[in-house]
Amino acid sequence: MRTSIHVVKVVGGLFALAVLASGCLKTEEFPSEPVITFKSFEFFGDSASLIISFTDGDGDVGLDASDASAPFDTSSIYYFNLFVEESERIDGEWNEVTFEDPIYYRIPRITPTGQNKSLEGEIAVAIDPFPLFITGSADTVRFSVRMVDRALNVSNTVFSDDIVVP
């Protein structure tokens, strides 16, 4: 009987220690502005996927249909929150390509649960058709990406790897 009481005390002590230790686990802290990193660019025949990873310390990434008043209304640049631009290399110099319809996206709202509002994830952007545009003088393109959160914090700008266009 003494042994079973001793085992119960040891197990109870280990359980209490585990509960206390889990309360001390450090949660990841990120800056309040989004930080993005280029991850990959994948071809799929005549289309492609550009993948970035991101972090956001206060978890205010994305917009939904109810985010339609200023500054997120359709007449504002902030109606969109992910901005992709294409550049092409001609004679060793990068030139930005201007499209009639820019390559802007509206990332859906992502709402973290719990006390820690930090977000970390990946976003894949479909580029269809690929290449979107290329002049006869260029054989290489790259994309730049930046994003904006609901507090209008602008991320860093990242560039894809150089992409040789066949």
User: Could you report the per-residue pLDDT of 9-44, keeping only the tens digit for each?
Assistant: 444 444 444 444 444 445 678 888 999 999 999 988
User: Could you report the per-residue pLDDT of 43-102, keeping only the tens digit for each?
Assistant: 888 888 999 999 999 999 999 999 999 999 999 999 999 999 999 998 889 989 888 888
Domain range list for the chain: 35-164
How far apart (Å, rounded) are the C-alpha atoms in residues 88 and 159?
12
pLDDT at residue number 4: 38
Q: Does the predicted TM-score (pTM) go above 0.75?
A: yes
How far apart (Å, rounded) are the C-alpha atoms in residues 100 and 27?
44
CATH number of this structure's domain 35-164: 2.60.40
How far apart (Å, rounded) are the C-alpha atoms in residues 47 and 131?
8
Lowest mean pLDDT among 60-74, 101-115, 146-160: 101-115
Can you tell me which residue has the tokens 């509960």? 19
How far apart (Å, rounded) are the C-alpha atoms in residues 67 and 125?
21
